[in-house]
Structure 1
Amino acid sequence: MHLFAALTATLALFAFWLHTFVGHRAVLLPVRQATISSFARATSEVCWHFVTYVLAMTAALSMAASIPTLSGPAAPWLLWAVIAIQLPFAVLFLAVSRVTFHSFTTLPQSPLLGGIALLAGLELVFPIQLPLKLGLALLLTLCLSILALFHVLWAFGVTWPAKSQPELGELVVGNPSTPESADGPVRPFPGRGLTLIVAAALVGAGLWMLLAAIPWGHHGLLNTGAWVVGGVFLLRGIAGYLETRLRPWTRKLAYHHWNRVLYSPLCLIMAGMAIGIAW
């Protein structure tokens, strides 16, 4: 696996998800409901879907370039295609942000698309190649470390991406914070101790996957642990789509939406990576 190409694909997939699910709610739906001309609305729809296909194609090209057996000698050309696609869009959004909002940082598209182009360029300059399992383990560990960092911040009072602790409980855990949103008692956000335990478990799982991916020779225990990690994430990912049967009140919360479009799919992706390492 080519390291920077894999990171390019990861960032491209994140941008695709952000555009498709978050941007759809925050940008496209308000445009559809706005009192604008039919031409402006149709133009917005076309541009929206065009960007969707561009991001999907970028992710596919990057993933192909990250796997030597799949791309072969065509890998540099795939990466140049990624740069040629993403860099103009990054500059365009940067210019729009500056002209419209008088700031280079208002629109998040510029750093995302520019980051994709930058990582593709780094792969061309520094073509670091890793064994597939080790590459998967590094990506999985990075993901788990970011999740662990969020849990540590939440444990010490940070409420992002929510505005308050009760709202964070509704968004992340599915715990109702008001009687109006609960079919029963109001449930607070989990305490600091439990949140830190989850953070430690995520860090431990990431380190375990790294150790399991390193060719130590006979490492049956590490391999078994990797299967366990994959199984846990697989169960969590599947359970996320069945959760309303056991916790029907979550249907009323923002957690229900994000559980289906982010939490559960992410768990299934991490399960696939862990199982790929253990296989």
Structure 2
Amino acid sequence: MASAGLLAAGALHAVWVFSPWPLDSRAEYAAAVVGVEESQLPSRPLTLAVAGLLGVASWLVVTGARPANRLAASRLVRGGLWTICGVLSMRGLGDLVVSGFALGEAPAEFRHWDLLLYSPLCIVLGGLTGYVTARTWSRRISPRSQA
């Protein structure tokens, strides 16, 4: 589920490089999805980079979830999984904690969607990634078992 959610979020970010879908204009997209004025939207290359990072995150979760895969217990995969878990959890919990302070300046539509969808989704994806991460920690491949 975590991998599918990350992949879907990555695909949606890739769509946003070219289109404000599901909204009608870039101004609506800026207010509802990003919480800024249209002139302050992240650049298209930056949005594409986020899409790519979400794709890599999805791959890391799939790799970490497969016990037979030798990469699953590698430091690179485990470190990536911990990073994904931490970033998503901080994004989700951070916005919920500071919603009365920092988000007060954000458009009302963004605050609504952030509290209803964006933050909870980040918390769920972070938790699911944390679960996969904890499972990879318990099945690290020792050098003796590879012989």
Are 2:16 and 1:154 equivalent residues in the alignment? yes
Task: Please state how far the C-alpha of 1:274 moved relative to its aligned partner.
Answer: 0.4
Are 2:116 and 1:261 equivalent residues in the alignment? yes
In structure 2, the residue matched to 1:163 is 24
- Structure 1 residues without counterparts, runs of 5 or longer: 1-138, 178-186
CA contact (8 A) 2:3 2:58 kept: yes
Q: Deviations over 1:2-48 (max 9, x none)?
A: xxxxxxxxxxxxxxxxxxxxxxxxxxxxxxxxxxxxxxxxxxxxxxx
Cα gap change, 1:218 to 1:266, in 2 (>3 Å): closer
Which of 32, 44, 57 is residue 205 of structure 1 equivalent to?
Answer: 57
CA distance in 2: counterparts of 1:171 and 1:244, whole angstroms: 17
Which of 80, 94, 99 is residue 239 of structure 1 equivalent to?
Answer: 94
Identity of aligned residues (%): 29
State the TM-score, normalizing by the size of structure 1.
0.44
CA distance in 2: counterparts of 1:195 and 1:221, whole angstroms: 24
- Tell me the matched-pair count: 130
CA distance in 2: counterparts of 1:152 and 1:218, whole angstroms: 30
- Structure 2 residues without counterparts, runs of 5 or longer: 135-147
Q: Deviations over 1:126-157 (max 9, x none)?
A: xxxxxxxxxxxxx212111111111111101x
Which of 179, 182, 189 is residue 41 of structure 2 equivalent to?
Answer: 189
Task: Please state how far the C-alpha of 1:253 moved relative to its aligned partner.
Answer: 2.5
In structure 2, the residue matched to 1:176 is 37
Return the letter of the residue paired with 1:154.
W
Task: Please state how far the C-alpha of 1:243 moved relative to its aligned partner.
Answer: 4.2
CA contact (8 A) 1:149 1:199 kept: yes
CA distance in 2: counterparts of 1:261 and 1:247, whole angstroms: 14
Secondary structure of 1:175's aligned partner: coil
Higher Rg: 1
Are 2:5 and 1:143 equivalent residues in the alignment? yes
CA distance in 1: counterparts of 2:25 and 2:40, whole angstroms: 11
CA distance in 1: counterparts of 2:27 and 2:40, whole angstroms: 6
CA contact (8 A) 1:166 1:189 kept: no
What does residue range 1-279 of structure 1 map to in structure 2 within 5 Å? 139-156=1-18, 158-177=19-38, 187-215=39-67, 216=70, 218-241=73-96, 242-250=98-106, 252-279=107-134
Task: Please state how far the C-alpha of 1:221 moved relative to its aligned partner.
Answer: 2.9
Q: What is the aligned-residue RMSD (CA, Å)?
A: 1.7
Return the letter of the residue paired with 1:214.
R
Q: Tell which has more relative contact order, 1 or 2 (C-alpha 8 A, sep 6+).
A: 2
CA contact (8 A) 1:176 1:253 kept: no
Please list every run of at least 4 consecutive aligned residues from structure 1 whose deviation after the TM superposition is greater than 6 angstroms.
Answer: none
Of the structure 1 ranges 142-151 and 254-263, higher mean CA displacement relative to structure 2 is found in 142-151
Task: Please state how far the C-alpha of 1:218 moved relative to its aligned partner.
Answer: 4.3
CA contact (8 A) 2:103 2:111 kept: no
CA distance in 2: counterparts of 1:146 and 1:225, whole angstroms: 19
